[in-house]
Amino acid sequence: MPKRKAAIAVGGVAALGAAALLLPNAMASQDGGSADAAGAPRTMKANDASDLAAQLQKALGDAFAGSYYDSGKQQLVVNVVSGDNNLIVQAKKAGAVVRQVENSTSELKAAAQTLKTKATIPGTSWAVDPRTNKVLVTADSTVTGAKWNRLESTVQGLGSGMATIKKSAGTFKTFVSGGDAIFSQVQGGNVRCSLGFNVKASDGSPAFLTAGHCGVAAKDWSDSQNGQPIATVDQATFPGQGDFSLVKYNDATTQAPSEVNVGNGQAPVQIKQAVDATVGTTVFRMGSTTGLHDGQVTGLDATVNFQSETDPNGVDTVTGLIQTNVCAEAGDSGGSLFTQDGGAVGLTSGGSGDCTSGGETFFQPVTAALQATGATLGDAGAGAGAGAGDQSGAGGDAVGGGDQSGATADPSATADPSATADPSATATNPAGTGDQSGAGAGDQSGAGAGDQSGAGAGDQSGTGDATGTGHQPGTGAGDGSAVNQGH
């Protein structure tokens, strides 16, 4: 049987607005030499900062109170509350910026646990912010009246200097679609999601990762609307400890390149390894609805409580997600979150807002999905994670404000003919923001995700617990056309 190259290029869209060029060597200087004897802060890449943070977290023990990457200065900042001065000196000599803070990791964890117990309200989220050394609480547009009063009272009860609260545009929901569009026919219409990253399954067969709520909604997937299935769900997790699916190509000879197609005729970004997210790192998201957008990682190990679509009074819980201020919309679910230098970071799950007003978006960590499924990344077989794991010490480093969502590339940068496509360019979606398959309307989150209430809100070390409004299946156009559910 002749080999069939995978028709789905990871993360691409058919029509994408102009994208600037990414200079592959633009961050080469971040490698910086080792710190000098006086312990001057060292410039480094985000991945190197992640590795160093993990080492310092172990060395500092209880004195460690979180860390983040200062992308402007290209430095790792480590918070300490107290501890052996010799260890702090060693941290400085290792190249980190060390700063004294008020709140310890255990205190921040306790505050997040109190919020979880007293204020698990649909449309809210919280995570530890290492940049402010506080718990940042976010409420979407549905949190009003008595709900807002309850949330505000709980925050105030944590004490002065422990937490802050802010409003977010839109409502928390899953984003159905993303990356190169993939489709499935289910009872009542089509489900649309997006491919995240091509991988190899544990048995060596070609496969790809996408969102778990996509894999729960439908089993067989095609690369075209109403087309014949080319892949079948092998594993799916949603709700619970993650939002990821492993989908195997039906043709075992399928060639599945380890790359992200950023569209517009640009060379794809080669995916070299899976990496753990670091707070403060710039990341790029590709989705079939909104194209290419960028922003920063603002929180780790977040828990999202979507309002259950099967139980009006229930909550669907997903744990262990990455929080960002990258924008996304319906149809972007499952799509790729990656770094400038080719690190696979996450799979689009859900969030609030849109690519006009911004908002928060949550992602399934790729490293955790690879570990859980036994898959390896793409052509090179890079396994679960070159990153350093959780650098927060408090379980969810930060929830940032969404002011960096959709930032474009530096207009002063000159084009390098050898450069690959710049993921930092904001994409234009000529086809509009809606789901482009069928007659679906509104937030076309997939059906069949099941009741997620009570699933794994549990032990996230006080990490960014978030509660959302859940999946809202799209309605038909009223002319007899099928309901199209975008994921």
Q: How many domains is the chain partitioned into structurally?
A: 2
* Rounded Cα gap, residues 76 and 408, in angstroms: 24
* Rounded Cα gap, residues 266 and 453, in angstroms: 43
Structural domain ending residue among the three candidates 40, 65, 100: 100
* Rounded Cα gap, residues 231 and 249, in angstroms: 4
Instruction: Say yes or no: 87 and 178 in one domain.
Output: no
Report if residue 135 sits inside a domain: no
Structural domain ending residue among the three candidates 85, 100, 115: 100
Higher pLDDT: 396 or 247? It is: 247
* Rounded Cα gap, residues 425 and 355, in angstroms: 13
Report if residue 397 sits inside a domain: yes
Long-range contacts of 144-152 (CB under 8 A, 24+ apart): 147/121, 147/123, 150/118, 150/119, 150/121, 151/119, 151/121, 151/124
DSSP state of 58: H
Higher pLDDT: 119 or 200? It is: 200
DSSP state of 8: -
Report if residue 460 sits inside a domain: yes
pLDDT above 60 for 385: no
Cα 30-35-36 angle, rounded to 5 deg: 140
Among 3-7, 29-33, 158-162, 349-353, name the one with the lowest average pLDDT. 29-33
Report if residue 269 sits inside a domain: yes
* Rounded Cα gap, residues 32 and 394, in angstroms: 28
Mean pLDDT of the residues in the chain:
73
Tell me what the mean pLDDT of segment 67-82 comes to: 92
Tens digits of residue pLDDT in 444-478: 333 333 333 333 333 333 344 444 433 333 333 33
Give the CATH number, domain containing residue 282: 2.40.10.120
Instruction: Say yes or no: 179 and 59 in one domain.
Output: no
Tell me what the mean pLDDT of segment 4-18 comes to: 40
Tens digits of residue pLDDT in 75-108: 999 999 987 788 788 889 999 999 999 999 999 9
Structural domain ending residue among the three candidates 46, 65, 100: 100
Higher pLDDT: 487 or 409? It is: 487
Tell me what the mean pLDDT of segment 166-175 comes to: 74
pLDDT confidence band for 270 (50 / 70 / 90): very high
pLDDT above 70 for 4: no
Per the CB < 8 A criterion, the answer to whether 146 and 183 are in contact is no
Residue 33, burial from CB neighbour count under 10 angstroms (0-12, 13-18, 19+): exposed
pLDDT of residue 487: 60
Tell me what the mean pLDDT of segment 295-301 comes to: 88
Higher pLDDT: 227 or 179? It is: 227
| Residue 353 Cα distances to 2, 141, 423, angstroms | 45, 10, 21
Contacts of 279 (CB under 8 A, 6+ apart): 67, 68, 69, 130, 131, 297, 298, 299, 300, 391, 392, 397, 398
User: What percentage of the chain carries pLDDT values higher than 90?
Assistant: 34
* Rounded Cα gap, residues 7 and 180, in angstroms: 9
Report if residue 354 sits inside a domain: yes
Instruction: Say yes or no: 327 and 232 in one domain.
Output: yes
Question: What are 12's two structure tokens?
Answer: 């691409």
Instruction: Say yes or no: 184 and 297 in one domain.
Output: yes
Instruction: Say yes or no: 244 and 369 in one domain.
Output: yes
Per the CB < 8 A criterion, the answer to whether 66 and 392 are in contact is yes
Report if residue 436 sits inside a domain: yes
Please name every residue paired with 302 in a beta bridge, in sequence order, or none if there are none: 321
User: What percentage of the chain carries pLDDT values higher than 70?
Assistant: 67
Report if residue 11 sits inside a domain: no
Please name every residue paired with 304 in a beta bridge, in sequence order, or none if there are none: 318, 466
Tens digits of residue pLDDT in 362-375: 999 999 999 999 99
Per the CB < 8 A criterion, the answer to whether 79 and 88 are in contact is no
Question: What are 75's two structure tokens?
Answer: 């430095």
pLDDT confidence band for 175 (50 / 70 / 90): low
Higher pLDDT: 334 or 479? It is: 334
Catalytic residue annotation:
213, 243, 333
Instruction: Say yes or no: 91 and 206 in one domain.
Output: no
Q: Where are the alpha helices (DSSP H) in 322-461?
A: 366-373
Q: What's the half-sphere exposure (Cβ side, CA atoms, 13 Å) at 428?
A: 6
Instruction: Say yes or no: 276 and 368 in one domain.
Output: yes
Tens digits of residue pLDDT in 324-359: 999 988 778 899 999 988 999 999 998 888 898 888
Report if residue 311 sits inside a domain: yes
* Rounded Cα gap, residues 76 and 32, in angstroms: 13
Number of residues that this document lists for the chain:
487
Cα 194-401-172 angle, rounded to 5 deg: 45
pLDDT of residue 116: 84
Instruction: Say yes or no: 89 and 207 in one domain.
Output: no
Tell me what the mean pLDDT of segment 398-404 comes to: 34
Residue 447, burial from CB neighbour count under 10 angstroms (0-12, 13-18, 19+): buried
Q: Say whether 42 sits in a helix, a strand or coil.
A: coil
Instruction: Say yes or no: 289 and 192 in one domain.
Output: yes
Directed axis angle between helix 85-93 and helix 46-60, to 10°? Answer: 170
Q: Is 13 left (phi over 0), alpha (psi -120 to 50) or beta?
A: beta
pLDDT of residue 27: 32
Instruction: Say yes or no: 194 and 320 in one domain.
Output: yes
Domain residue limits at 221: 173-411+420-486
Instruction: Say yes or no: 330 and 198 in one domain.
Output: yes
Give the CATH number, domain containing residue 66: 3.30.300
Instruction: Say yes or no: 360 and 471 in one domain.
Output: yes
